[in-house]
């Protein structure tokens, strides 16, 4: 029942995000073209990109709840970090494209914008982005969803972009009132370049974390330490001759393989082996949750 509620909340959050991105992408691209602002157009492009990625995330949220089948015999958990990597790469490429465009515009002398309409967009977009960001952050923490957390970070990027646009347009108004209107043409491309650089930080962090999972790098931190400690304690308690273990995290699923070396004696019955498996599971299920656990017993070191 708890798992069903988690899935329901996750899908609700992603659907809310999808509706928000459709509205803001349409408004951003339309306003950007109308007022002649590349900064607003960039903001709309981020929303459009988020719309596609949110749709993929929503589909991924459905896939990862499916049981393993003949085609994906280890389940669908590995799709989640893969989608996050694609998401991060697309945002990073968009930031690079925007930065290059902003620098080119500065070199070419900048361009003017329709300030009044630009301010209206900046206010609406800033309020909307941060409202969805805080909503998704709350849901992500309550259900421990990586998909919703990554999606909420995109809304934070959009919110920061929109807030920076608002500040930039207010600067334009201030320059006008102080008699420095000749510099107004440079404000929009400067905003584009600065926002592209600042927005690239989060996708880099997302890529760093999720590439580790795609490449099956052993997770760091308290979970790894807990696994090491539990297996060492069980080994001492049941007097294993030797053992090895391998831990990886893929999306929301941990994969733990334990190979145990024992002597060739009637002492190691199937019932005793199953009892040890149960002991290991009971000690680790709190930290590992949904885990693919494999515990093998062998009398030959070659299988460790």
The enclosing domain of 253 has a CATH number of 3.30.70.1350
Which residue range forms the structural domain that includes residue 261?
A: 222-303
Same domain membership, residue 105 and residue 121? yes
Same domain membership, residue 297 and residue 202? no
Does residue 248 register a pLDDT over 60?
yes
Number of domains in the chain: 2
Q: Which residue has better confidence, 212 or 53?
A: 212
Same domain membership, residue 100 and residue 72? yes
Sequence-ordered alpha helix ranges (H) in the chain: 2-35, 38-63, 79-107, 115-143, 146-178, 184-199, 201-214, 222-238, 270-288
What's the CA gap between 293 and 112, in Å, rounded?
61
The pLDDT tens digits of the residues spanning 37-87 come to 777 777 777 777 766 776 777 677 677 677 777 777 666 777 778 888 887
- Residue at a domain's end among 188, 214, 240: 214
Please count the CA atoms within 13 angstroms of the CA of 207 that sit on its side-chain side: 13
Same domain membership, residue 196 and residue 128? yes
pLDDT at position 7, please? 65
Rounded alpha-carbon distances, angstroms, from residue 295 to 41, 77, 178, 259, 279 = 54, 20, 74, 6, 11
The pLDDT tens digits of the residues spanning 167-207 come to 888 887 887 788 777 777 787 788 778 878 877 887 888 78
- Residue at a domain's end among 193, 214, 235: 214
Same domain membership, residue 263 and residue 144? no
Same domain membership, residue 248 and residue 194? no
Helix (H) or strand (E) holding 260: strand 253-261
Same domain membership, residue 253 and residue 206? no
| pLDDT-based confidence at residue 236 (cuts at 50, 70, 90) | very high
Same domain membership, residue 140 and residue 270? no
Same domain membership, residue 205 and residue 230? no
- Residue at a domain's end among 169, 185, 214: 214
């Amino acid at each position: 029942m708890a798992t069903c509620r988690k899935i329901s909340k996750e899908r609700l959050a992603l659907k809310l995000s999808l509706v928000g991105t459709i509205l803001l992408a349409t408004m951003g691209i339309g306003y950007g073209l109308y007022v002649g602002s590349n900064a607003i157009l960039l903001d709309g492009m981020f929303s459009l990109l988020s719309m596609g990625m949110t749709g993929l995330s929503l589909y991924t949220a459905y896939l990862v709840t499916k049981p393993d089948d003949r085609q994906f015999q280890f389940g669908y958990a590995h799709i989640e970090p893969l989608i996050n990597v694609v998401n991060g790469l697309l945002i990073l490429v968009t930031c690079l494209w925007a930065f290059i465009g902003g620098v080119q515009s500065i070199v070419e002398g900048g361009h003017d914008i329709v300030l009044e309409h630009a301010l209206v967009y900046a206010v609406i977009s800033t309020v909307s982005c941060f409202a969805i960001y805080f909503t998704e952050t709350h849901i992500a923490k309550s259900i421990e969803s990586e998909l919703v957390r990554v999606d909420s970070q995109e809304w934070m990027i959009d919110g920061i972009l929109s807030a920076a646009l608002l500040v930039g347009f207010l600067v334009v108004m201030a320059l006008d009132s102080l008699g420095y209107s000749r510099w107004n043409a440079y404000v929009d491309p400067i905003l584009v370049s600065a926002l592209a650089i600042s927005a690239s930080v989060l996708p880099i962090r997302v890529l760093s974390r999720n590439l580790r999972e795609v490449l099956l790098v052993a997770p760091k931190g308290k979970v790894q330490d807990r696994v090491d400690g539990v297996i060492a304690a069980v080994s001492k308690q049941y007097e294993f001759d030797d053992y090895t273990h391998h831990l990886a995290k893929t999306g929301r699923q941990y994969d733990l393989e334990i190979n145990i070396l024992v002597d060739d004696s009637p002492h190691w019955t199937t019932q005793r082996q199953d009892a040890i498996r149960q002991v290991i599971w009971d000690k680790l299920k709190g930290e590992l949750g949904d885990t693919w656990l494999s515990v093998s017993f062998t009398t030959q070191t070659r299988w460790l």
